[in-house]
Each structure stands twice: as C-alpha cells, then as structure tokens.
Amino acid sequence: MKKRIYIAYTGGTIGMHRSPNGYVLKPGFARLIEDKIPPRLSGEMPDYDLHEYPTPIDSSNIVPADWLRVARDIVDRYQDYDGFVVLHGTDTMAYTASALSFMLQGLDKPVIVTGSQIPLSEVRNDAQDNLVTAIELACDFHIPEVCLYFNGRLLRGNRSLKVKTTGFDAFDSPNFPWLAQIGIHIELNHRVLLPHPPATQFELPDSYATHQVVPLQLFPGISADLIDSITQQSCRGLILRTYGVGNAPDNDPALLDALSRANKRGIIILNLSQCLQGGVHQGSYATGSALANAGVISGGDMTLEAAFTKLHHLFSCGLDEDKIRQKIQSNLCGELSDIET
C-alpha cells in the first residue's frame, strides 16, 4: 500500500521567486510542485498532501509561537499519515528542527525538516532533490525522530547547525554522526537512530511565549557590568558560550559575583562551549570550576539551537525551577550525550 505523507510548507527560499528586491515569497507553492514534479513522475512517489500556511515566512521572521503551530499541525494529523515533511527557510531551520524534537517527544514516525538554498522556481536548484528525498525519507518507518535533511545528509534535528551561507552542503552536525548518508542508496546509520518509543502520547504546552533566553559569547575582557545589565532585564536564561571545555575568567571576582547573583535570582545559566566539537566539563580547570561554584550548569555537548529551544520548551511547560535545572541536564530526545559537570 502506498504511504501517505503530510507536507507543511512554512515558507523559506524553497518556495521563493526572483524579484528586483531579491528572492520573495508568493502564494502557490502547490502549483510550483506540480510544474516541477509532473504526475508522470509523481506516480512513483508516495501520496502526499501539501498544506501551505496562509502566510509563509522567511524563516528569519520566525518566533517561538510558530514552532508550536507546526508541532500542533503534526500532532493533529498524526494518525492520518505515515510521515511528515516540514518545508522551512534555512536561516533558522536548525532552531525549528530542535524545537520540534522537544515538542514531539515520543514520536514514532519520521518528521523531516528541509528547504533549499536555491528556490524550486529556478532551473538550477537544490530544492527538487531536497524535497523529493525528504518525502522518501518520511516514508521510512526506521526513523522515529525529528530530522533535518539537506544535500545528501540526514541529521538529527537537535544536533544540526547551518554551517554555510551559500553552499548546498549548508547543514552539518559536527558533534554527532549523521543519521544517514544519501547517494544512490539511502544508508541509514541504525546504530545512532533513536529507538522506537514504547508508546506515543504528545503533551504540547498550550502556548509558546518568547522567553528572554540570551546567548552570550565570552570574549577577552568581558565585564561584570555587561552580565548585570543583561540579567537585570526580564532574562530567564543565559547561555554562556565559554572557552574550550567550559572555561571563563576566574581572576575577576566581580564577573563571578554577577553570575552568582543572576543564578540566585532564578536565572538558568547554561555553559556551552564556543568549540564545535566535544562538550563542557566544568571540573577540568579551575576556570570552569569557578563557573560551577557560581551556579552555572553544564550544557554538555548541546548545540546552541538545542539549548535555546529546550529552555523555551521547559519554560513553556510551566515547570518549577528545580525541575527545569534537572531536565536541562537530562537527555530528552538525543540532544545531549552523557553529561559530566
């Protein structure tokens, strides 16, 4: 029996058209697909239904509430389809793929997020392959997780990063193996795919507010005043991008005091490394231990996108502070390897 796939089109370059002002969005994505993938060829494909969102967006305009809309869309149709494809702009695709992974925990079917660097409307494009392959991957029962597909790589959504502005190989997961490599054949890496869950029961929060979660890259000379001014606003989470295995200056007591004060006010301060590979081990150096003493929590080897969306998810679920601190350090859906504080 033919599989049935649901495609949610949210916008992005994949559906854009050339204009004097650069690429712009226009309605009519379904028509564009019909032109590019005529029925003669689509006969070889699974059946799919395309839902074009009423106002497709450039993904630079995305806000957390949009993630919930996509997740609800999938949850509402979960029983009717074998798999799901989300078409999305590349700029914030890794955020959306990460956010969906937290909202769809317990997923037992593939959800494949994809887009392209050149629109489907152009003669030379990467859109057609990304779209067709994503649809095919969405039929594969062995992929019970939210993934990002791009240019022959199937990546875990919450491990993915946009690494190139213009290359077709724009996405990678530098800190986690690819879930599959796609050439002539689809070579799934069964060793790293998530297992099928015992049961699927989604619990989506009622709303997804934009919380002030501030990523802050440490730089030589960073001051306590800067930390104070950021954390005295309505900040709920601070993601510190530290040096190496999670180090920050330990020779500036004012800086550590500022972090400690913020921590005592209930702000979750997470330590992520500026490095692309490996994770945070706050106990390796005195400079990392000083952060732990100030109440900073190790984010292990999570990506910034995963940490940012995970905090949003935990805040939106209305958990108390202790629970959030515990969950942020737990692996919920493959975003985090064993953590060493």
The span of 54-62, 70-78, 284-292, 312-320 binding ligand ASP (CB under 6 A) equals 54-62
For CA atoms 99, 180, 74, 130, give the dihedral sign: positive
The correct pick among 56, 64, 83, 115 for binding ligand ASP (CB under 6 A) is: 115
C-alpha closest to that of 87 among 121, 52, 137, 122: 52
Closer residue to ligand ASP in complex, CB, 23/78 = 23
Report the nearest approach of ligand ASP to the CB of residue 13 (Å).
3
When asked if residue 56 is in the footprint of ligand ASP (CB under 6 A), the reply is no
Which residue, 56 or 110, is less far from ligand ASP as judged by CB? 56
Q: Which residues, in sequence order, are CB contacts of 83 under 8 Å at separation 6+?
A: 3, 5, 6, 109, 110, 111, 112, 137, 138, 139, 140, 143
What x/- string results for residues 81 through 100 when contact with ligand ASP is judged by CB under 6 A? --------xxx---------
* Residue 228 interacts with ligand ASP (CB under 6 A): yes or no: no
Dist CA 234 CA 25 (whole Å): 34
Q: What minimum distance in Å lies between the beta carbon of 12 and ligand ASP?
A: 4
Bridge partners for 268 per DSSP: 237
Which residue sits closest to ligand ASP, CB atoms considered?
89
Q: Which residue in the set 98, 117, 151, 231 belongs to the binding site for ligand ASP (CB under 6 A)?
A: 117
Task: Check binding of 12 to ligand ASP (CB under 6 A).
Answer: yes
Q: Quick one: 13 or 282, whose CB is closer to ligand ASP? A: 13
Strands (E), the chain: 4-11, 16-17, 24-25, 47-57, 83-87, 111-114, 146-150, 153-156, 161-162, 171-172, 180-182, 186-188, 213-217, 237-242, 268-273, 297-298
> Which region among 56-64, 133-141, 294-302, 329-337 touches ligand ASP (by CB under 6 A)?
56-64
Active-site residue, from 10, 13, 92, 96: 13
Q: Looking at beta carbons only, is 114 or 273 nearer to ligand ASP? A: 114
Stretch in the footprint of ligand ASP (CB under 6 A) among 5-13, 188-196, 257-265, 312-320: 5-13
Of 53-61, 97-105, 240-248, 280-288, which part binds ligand ASP (CB under 6 A)?
53-61
Verify whether residue 13 is a known catalytic residue. Answer: yes
182 Cβ partners below 8 Å, 6+ apart? 133, 137, 149, 152, 153, 154
Tokens read off for 215 = 């990523």
Q: What angle do CA 44, 107, 110 make, to 5 degrees?
A: 20
Q: What's the DSSP call for residue 87?
A: E
Where do contacts with ligand ASP occur on this chain (CB under 6 A)?
Answer: 11-13, 58-60, 89-91, 115, 117
Q: Would you please indicate which residues are annotated as catalytic (active-site) residues?
A: 13
